[in-house]
């Protein structure tokens, strides 16, 4: 993938996992480049943790092969793989103090003088004064750092993180995200991070694989996934998208479509599937790309922008921005995020408005998909 | 905030009124304790005092006993019956060890591998309790009888040659030998080992095994470094629940043993019920209690269970 030394890539080829008749992971191929911060993102039950556990060796794949560099490790038990895991529950040994926990891996590999390394690692995660406490005497955030230290001290080829921040409160989570990113940059080890939190994945990872129903929906850099979702699931799961069902009028470098009586334009190269005249397409635009103008000011909108008229049904002020919900003939409950720079007092529920945006920010998705796939409720149910 | 407030309003600082819970509420724990305390007083503390006084009495059944602070009884009893004390501790210790060796794998299986069979297996562990202790021990008389299948098989395997050489059995016989008594003790107290072991094993988070294996520990090392240390509370309570009653047991030695396998329990029983030498019987009971208490204290200290139990 890169021209760097690829000797340490994690390569999964045709790997799958079934439990009886239930398939947790459909055959998938995945390459995690050496030294990268890779995130597996998806709702619970999408197969991301199972995939991680197959890399760790805690789960035997039903089919396929796991390579670490050039070595086929599929049949190696976990304790023979140069891979360490930070568990969701931390799984710290309750009968050992912090430094014993951290030294565990080194001792198992027969390393006698571990003190110096352990002390260094305790310093790295800033737990100096807690070295001789038992895990239950530490807070969640501190336990989490012990779990990271216990894994990292072994200098694994790959560090696997299974939702390690899930149990922390929001503020601590943000802090630990940056902390983990810093550590990863410092030690240069490949991190594979499993999470259901799209913000976490986007903040930390160089590459994100979005998983759904045991399959990888899309793989790419966070910005790329966000700007160019290829499926409705990705469009809805990563942030919020307004998806409008439309009919194609003209094709070419620009595609002209009609939805709810209005016309919209989008770049032809941002359509994921072939569009043909008279066919259907899902037109997508992110809420923050849309500007809102009161219907009285409709004349001031520059030419060439996509417009949709509608009526505000709800608005909520959240500090940096205001979120509006707009019903229009083109689609119900369109989301618009407006920065609170100059607030127009007329934009209240009930007002007639025009939504307008640069056509370049519009993307087109295959209309054969479920338009609501990946909508937030999946996570709420988890 | 508080600093500036204090500056603005100097003056006597009012002590906040600490509200005490009403007396009714404070007394609740004591009321809950009461039935147990009364029970212990009447059925444990009082008999103990009575026994203690008996142990320092002299006299005979005809003339009646009198407290004479005759502590000599203790020394005499110990001198005469020390072999039975040693035997009791040896048999109980061996039975405890056997229970641990037999019970640990079973408890481990039930806790981690039994899946949906778990409850059934637990019921089977305690199933023997549905039959009287006496009947079950009598049954072992049949099992270990001279012409029984078990003895024939052991004989054919030349196992009895080994145990005979070790002095555990005599010739072709198993019944009326130390091995028979230890076997009976092991059988009777096995559930008391398995249940606490199971409870502490079952509490161990399975993810710790995964974490250990992820950190280069083979299954054997995982057991040695993680599972076993974490099951120590169960090992300690299981061994205590087995050893303490086994060291005072007399039924197994009575039914399965011979005069050469008498334990201290048998002596106490015969002193009380046949010889009717109450002071000696009481003294023997107190000596046994002191020995067991001493051993248990040392054991718990050594096992370092303060922060485990």
What is the reported pLDDT for A123?
87
**Of the residues A227, A251, A274, the one at which a domain ends:** A227
Say whether B216 and A105 touch across the interface (CB within 8 A).
Answer: yes
Q: Are residues A140 and A23 in the same domain?
A: yes
Residue A325 CA to residue A15 CA, distance in Å, equals 42
What is the reported pLDDT for A175?
86
Q: Which residue has the higher pLDDT, A374 or A265?
A: A265
The mean pLDDT values, 10 residues at a time, for chain B of 309 residues are 48 73 84 94 94 89 84 93 95 97 96 92 93 92 91 90 89 91 96 96 93 95 94 93 95 92 93 91 95 92 62
Nearest CA to B252 out of B172, B100, B133, B82 is that of B133
Q: Are residues A170 and A252 in the same domain?
A: no
Q: Which residue has the higher pLDDT, A105 or A275?
A: A105
CA closest to A147 among chain B residues: B211
For chain B, the distance separating the N- and C-terminal CA atoms, rounded to the nearest angstrom, is 46
CA closest to B228 among chain A residues: A95
The CATH number assigned to the domain holding A287 equals 2.40.50.100
Three-class SS of residue B199? helix
Nearest CA to B246 out of B194, B180, B189 is that of B189
What is the reported pLDDT for A81?
93
Tokens representing A334 are 């369109």
Decide if A234 is inside a domain. Answer: no
CA distance B110 to chain A (A): 22
- Assign A103 a pLDDT band (cuts: 50, 70, 90): very high
Tokens representing A189 are 């080890």
Within 8 A by CB and 6+ apart from A257, the residues are A246, A247, A248, A249, A263, A264, A265, A266, A281, A283, A364
What is the reported pLDDT for B23?
80
Q: Which residue has the higher pLDDT, B75 or A2?
A: B75
Of the partner residues A79, A91, A154, the one whose CB lies closest to the CB of residue B207: A91
- Measured CA to CA in angstroms, residue B166 lies from A243, B101, B162, B175 at distances of 86, 20, 6, 16
Q: Are residues A151 and A35 in the same domain?
A: yes
Say whether B214 and A89 touch across the interface (CB within 8 A).
Answer: no
Say whether B213 and A79 touch across the interface (CB within 8 A).
Answer: yes
Helix (H) or strand (E) holding A22: strand A22-32
pLDDT surpasses 80 at A381? no
The CATH number assigned to the domain holding A58 equals 3.40.50.300
**Does residue A328 belong to the interface with chain B, where contact is any CB pair within 8 Å?**
no
pTM: 0.81
Decide if A4 is inside a domain. Answer: no
CA distance A137 to chain B (A): 13
Residue A77 CA to residue B243 CA, distance in Å, equals 40
What is the reported pLDDT for A345?
85
Domain of A253, in residue numbers: 240-381
Decide if A156 is inside a domain. Answer: yes
Tokens representing A274 are 């072939």
What is the reported pLDDT for B167?
87
Q: Are residues A37 and A151 in the same domain?
A: yes
What is the reported pLDDT for A7?
61
Say whether A91 and B230 touch across the interface (CB within 8 A).
Answer: no
Q: Is there a contact between A233 and A366 (Cβ–Cβ < 8 Å)?
A: no
Decide if A328 is inside a domain. Answer: yes
Task: Look at strands A334-339 and A321-327 and give their pairing.
Answer: antiparallel
Which chain A residues touch B210 with a CB distance below 8 Å? 58, 78, 85, 87, 91
What is the reported pLDDT for A13?
93
Q: Are residues A33 and A178 in the same domain?
A: yes
Nearest CA to B181 out of B261, B97, B264 is that of B261
Number of domains in chain A: 2
Say whether B215 and A154 touch across the interface (CB within 8 A).
Answer: yes
Helix (H) or strand (E) holding B65: strand B64-67
What is the reported pLDDT for B33?
94
Say whether B214 and A56 touch across the interface (CB within 8 A).
Answer: yes
Q: Are residues A263 and A198 in the same domain?
A: no
Q: Are residues A188 and A295 in the same domain?
A: no
**Of the residues A193, A227, A261, the one at which a domain ends:** A227
The CB density around residue A356, as the number of other CB atoms within 10 Å, is: 18
Of the partner residues B207, B208, B216, the one whose CB lies closest to the CB of residue A109: B216
Which chain A residues touch B212 with a CB distance below 8 Å? 93, 104
What is the reported pLDDT for B11?
58
Decide if A2 is inside a domain. Answer: no
CA closest to A91 among chain B residues: B208
Tokens representing A9 are 């890539």
Length of chain B equals 309
- Measured CA to CA in angstroms, residue A293 lies from A327, A349, B268 at distances of 14, 13, 100
Within 8 A by CB and 6+ apart from A350, the residues are A311, A312
Say whether B210 and A91 touch across the interface (CB within 8 A).
Answer: yes
Q: Domains, chain B, ranges and CATH? A: 81-303 (1.10.3720.10)
Say whether A85 and B205 touch across the interface (CB within 8 A).
Answer: no
Decide if A329 is inside a domain. Answer: yes
Strand partners, A194: A40, A162
Decide if A326 is inside a domain. Answer: yes
Mean pLDDT of A47-53: 93
Q: Across the beta sheet with A242-250, what order do the strands follow? A: A262-267, A254-259, A242-250, A280-285, A363-365
Strand partners, A292: A355
Q: Are residues A45 and A118 in the same domain?
A: yes
Q: Are residues A141 and A290 in the same domain?
A: no
- What count of CB pairs under 8 Å joins A to B? 61
Three-class SS of residue A281? strand
Residue of B211, B226, B231, B232 for testing the chain A interface, max A β-carbons within 10 Å: B211
Say whether B215 and A91 touch across the interface (CB within 8 A).
Answer: no
Q: Is there a contact between A147 and A87 (Cβ–Cβ < 8 Å)?
A: yes
**Does residue A167 belong to the interface with chain B, where contact is any CB pair within 8 Å?**
no
Task: Look at strands A254-259 and A363-365 and give their pairing.
Answer: unpaired
Residue A295 CA to residue A327 CA, distance in Å, equals 14
Say whether B210 and A58 touch across the interface (CB within 8 A).
Answer: yes
**Of the residues A227, A254, A287, the one at which a domain ends:** A227
Decide if A255 is inside a domain. Answer: yes
- Winning range, highest mean pLDDT, from A99-103, A238-242, A300-304, B160-164: A99-103
Nearest CA to A135 out of A92, A191, A174 is that of A92
Strand partners, B58: B66
Residue B242 CA to residue B96 CA, distance in Å, equals 6
Q: Which residue has the higher pLDDT, A362 or B19?
A: A362
What is the reported pLDDT for A337?
94
Q: Are residues A107 and A158 in the same domain?
A: yes
pLDDT surpasses 60 at A113? yes
Three-class SS of residue A25? strand
**Does residue A83 belong to the interface with chain B, where contact is any CB pair within 8 Å?**
yes
Say whether B213 and A89 touch across the interface (CB within 8 A).
Answer: no
Q: Are residues A194 and A256 in the same domain?
A: no
H-only helix segments in B167-276: 178-202, 206-214, 219-222, 228-230, 232-247, 251-256, 264-270
CA distance B295 to chain A (A): 25
Say whether B213 and A87 touch across the interface (CB within 8 A).
Answer: no
Per cent of chain A over pLDDT 70 is 96
Tokens representing B82 are 């020390």
Q: Are residues A58 and A117 in the same domain?
A: yes
Mean pLDDT of A331-344: 87
């Amino acid at each position: 993938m890169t021209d760097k030394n690829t000797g340490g890539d994690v390569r999964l080829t045709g790997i799958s996992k079934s439990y009886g008749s239930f398939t947790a992971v459909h055959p998938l191929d995945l390459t995690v480049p050496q030294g990268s911060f890779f995130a597996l993102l998806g709702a619970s039950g999408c197969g991301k943790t199972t995939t991680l556990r197959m890399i760790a060796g805690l789960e035997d794949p039903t089919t396929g092969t796991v390579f670490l560099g050039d070595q086929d490790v599929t049949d190696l038990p976990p304790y023979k793989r140069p891979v360490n895991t930070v568990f969701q529950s931390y799984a710290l040994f309750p009968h050992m103090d912090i430094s014993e926990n951290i030294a565990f891996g080194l001792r198992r590999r027969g390393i006698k003088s571990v003190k110096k390394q352990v002390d260094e690692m305790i310093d790295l995660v800033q737990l100096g004064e807690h070295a001789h406490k038992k895990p239950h005497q530490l807070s969640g955030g501190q336990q989490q750092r012990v779990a990271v230290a216990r894994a990292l001290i072994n200098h694994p080829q790959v560090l696997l993180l299974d939702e390690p921040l899930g149990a922390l409160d929001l503020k601590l989570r943000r802090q630990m995200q940056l902390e983990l990113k810093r550590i990863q940059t410092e030690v240069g080890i490949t991190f594979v991070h499993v999470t259901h939190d799209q913000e976490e994945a986007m903040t930390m990872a160089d590459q994100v694989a979005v998983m759904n129903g045991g399959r990888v929906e899309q793989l790419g850099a966070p910005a790329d996934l966000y700007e160019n979702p290829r499926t409705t699931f990705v469009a809805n799961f990563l942030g919020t998208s307004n998806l409008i069902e439309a009919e194609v009028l003209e094709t070419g470098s620009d595609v002209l479509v009609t939805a709810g009586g209005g016309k919209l334009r989008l770049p032809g190269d941002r359509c994921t599937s072939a569009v043909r005249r008279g066919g259907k397409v899902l037109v997508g635009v992110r809420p923050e790309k849309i500007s809102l103008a009161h219907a009285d000011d409709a004349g001031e909108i520059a030419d060439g922008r996509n417009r949709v008229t509608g009526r505000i049904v709800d608005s909520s002020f959240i500090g940096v921005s205001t979120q509006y919900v707009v019903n229009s003939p083109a689609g119900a409950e369109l989301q618009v995020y407006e920065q609170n720079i100059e607030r127009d007092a007329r934009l209240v529920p009930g007002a007639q408005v025009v939504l307008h945006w640069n056509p370049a920010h519009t993307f087109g998705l295959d209309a054969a998909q479920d338009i609501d796939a990946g909508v937030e409720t999946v996570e709420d149910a988890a | 905030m508080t600093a500036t407030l204090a500056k603005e309003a100097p003056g006597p600082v009012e002590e906040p009124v600490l509200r005490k819970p009403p007396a009714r509420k404070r007394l609740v724990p004591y009321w809950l304790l009461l039935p147990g305390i009364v029970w212990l007083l009447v059925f444990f503390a009082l008999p103990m005092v009575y026994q203690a006084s008996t142990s320092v009495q002299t006299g005979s059944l005809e003339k009646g006993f009198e407290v004479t602070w005759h502590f000599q009884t203790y020394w005499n009893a110990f001198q005469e019956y020390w072999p039975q004390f040693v035997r009791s501790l040896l048999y109980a210790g061996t039975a405890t060890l056997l229970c641990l060796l037999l019970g640990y794998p079973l408890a481990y299986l039930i806790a981690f591998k039994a899946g949906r069979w778990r409850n059934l297996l637990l019921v089977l562990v305690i199933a023997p309790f549905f039959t009287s202790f006496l009947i079950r021990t009598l049954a072992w008389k049949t099992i270990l009888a001279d012409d029984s299948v078990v003895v024939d098989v052991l004989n054919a395997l030349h196992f009895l040659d080994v145990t005979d050489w070790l002095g555990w059995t005599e010739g072709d016989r198993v019944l009326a030998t130390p091995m028979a008594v230890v076997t009976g003790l092991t059988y009777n107290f096995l559930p008391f080992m398995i249940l606490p072991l199971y409870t502490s094993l079952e509490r161990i988070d399975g993810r710790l095994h995964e974490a250990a294996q992820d950190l280069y520990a083979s299954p054997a090392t995982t057991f040695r470094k993680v599972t076993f240390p974490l099951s120590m509370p169960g090992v300690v309570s299981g061994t205590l629940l087995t050893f303490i009653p086994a060291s005072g047991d007399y039924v197994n030695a009575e039914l399965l043993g011979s005069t050469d396998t008498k334990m201290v329990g048998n002596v106490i029983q015969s002193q009380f019920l046949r010889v009717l030498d109450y002071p000696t019987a009481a003294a023997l009971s107190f000596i046994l209690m002191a020995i067991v208490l001493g051993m248990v204290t040392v054991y718990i200290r050594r096992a370092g269970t303060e922060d485990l139990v």
